[in-house]
Amino acid sequence: MSAAPASTSPLAPQPSLSGSVLVLIQFDVCEEIRLDQLRQAVNARAVEQPRIKHSVPAYVRYQRPPVVEPLDPLILSGGERLEGEIKYYDYGVVSVVYQLAFSGNWESLVHLASRWVWDMDFASHVEPIVRPRVEKAEAAMIKPYSRWLSEDYFIFHARDEGEGSSTADLTRDHGLEIAQIVRGDQLRLSQGECAEVLQSRISYYENDLAVIGWNAAFLYDTNAGAETAIQLIEYANSQLLEFRHYDDLLTGILANVYDSLEQKGRLARWRMARSATRLHAVLLEIGELTERADNSIKFLSDMFAARLYRLAAAKVGVPDYKDLVAQKLKTAEDLYQYMVEQFNQARGFFLEIIVVLILLIELIYLFRGHSM
C-alpha cells in the first residue's frame, strides 16, 4: 500500500505564514488641502511613487503625491502594537494606515481577520488622533467640513516562509481560508461563496495573488510586490469617500431646489434666477472637484496596475457612486435649465406688461391732446 500524500496527513504541519495586517481608516475632512503649505505645518514628506513589479519602463504616477506624516503606535486592548502613518491627499481626504506584523498559520490569520473586520471599531480609536492634527494644519485646509465621512478597509498581506506556493496551488489548497479572510468570517463558507470571492483575484506572476473584497483584501506577495497593490487599494477607497461626499452634497442641493420650485407667489419665478445662479456655481465647482479627484493618479502605461485599480474600485463601489453622482449632476443640470426658462418666461411676461403700459400711457396722452 502506498503512503498517503503528506498534504492529506493529519500530522503534517500547516505552512507557516508571515506578513502584516493593515488597517486603513480614511476621513473626508475638507474640500482641498494645500500640500505645499501643509508640509510647512507638519513633520511630513511626499509619498514615494509606487514601484512596479516588472522591469519595463511603465509606471503609475500621482499627479500631486500625498503628504505623509508618522503617527505614534496604537496599542489595542489585547496588547497589539500597531505602527502607523497618516497621508494627506490634495482633494481633502486624510488616510490613516496602521500596520501589525503577523506570523502564524492559516487558521490564526482567519481568526484575526474575523475579529478585526467585525469586532474592532478602529474608527473610534483613530478619529481622536486625526482631529488634533487636522486642526493643527487648518491653515492648509480649504473649506473644512464639520461632519466627516469615513471609510475603513483591511488588507491581509501574507507569504509562505519557505519558497512560496504558485497561485494555482494556493487557490486550490487554501481557497476556503482566503475567502474567509476576505469576508472576515470564521465559519466555513459554501463552495459557491468561495468561488464568488475568488472571482475577484488578479495575478501578475505565477506565484503572487491579490483577492479584493468590498471591505478587505488578501495579498500573497513579497513586500516590494505588494506595495503597489496596497497604494492602489488605498487610492480606490479614497475615491469612494470622495464620491460619497459628492452624492450627499448633491442630494441636499436637489432637495433645496425642489423646495424652491414648490414655492408659490408672484415673485417665485423671479427668485429662481438667484437659485439657478447658485446651482450652476455649485455644479461647476463639483465638476472641477470630481475631475481633480478622478485624475489625481495617472496610469501611464502599466496595464496591470490599471486593471488592479479597476478591480479594487469596482469591489469597493467607486463606479456605483460615480454613476449616482453623474445622474444627479444631470438632474441638476436639467433643473438649472428649467429654472432659467421659468425666469426668462417671467421676465418676458413682465416686459410685455411694461410695453402694454407704455402704449396705454401714450394713448391716454394722445386722446387728451385731441380733446383739448
Q: Which of 233, 123, 113, 228 is nearest to 179 (CA)?
A: 113
SS (H, E, C) 332-364: HHHHHHHHHHHHHHHHHHHHHHHHHHHHHHHHH
Q: What is the percent of the chain where pLDDT is above 90?
A: 36
Contact 35, 67 (CB under 8 A): yes
Is the whole model's pTM more than 0.85, yes or no?
Answer: no
Q: Which of 243, 113, 255, 246 is nearest to 186 (CA)?
A: 113
Other Cβ atoms closer than 10 A to 199: 8
pLDDT tens digits for 108-161? 999 999 988 888 888 888 999 999 989 888 899 999 998 999 999 999 999 887
Phi, psi (degrees; rounded to nearest 5) at 209? -155, 140
pLDDT tens digits for 302-335? 788 888 999 999 999 998 988 888 888 788 777 7
Phi, psi (degrees; rounded to nearest 5) at 126? -85, -40
Contact 65, 91 (CB under 8 A): no
Identify the band that residue 56 occupies on the pLDDT scale cut at 50, 70 and 90.
very low
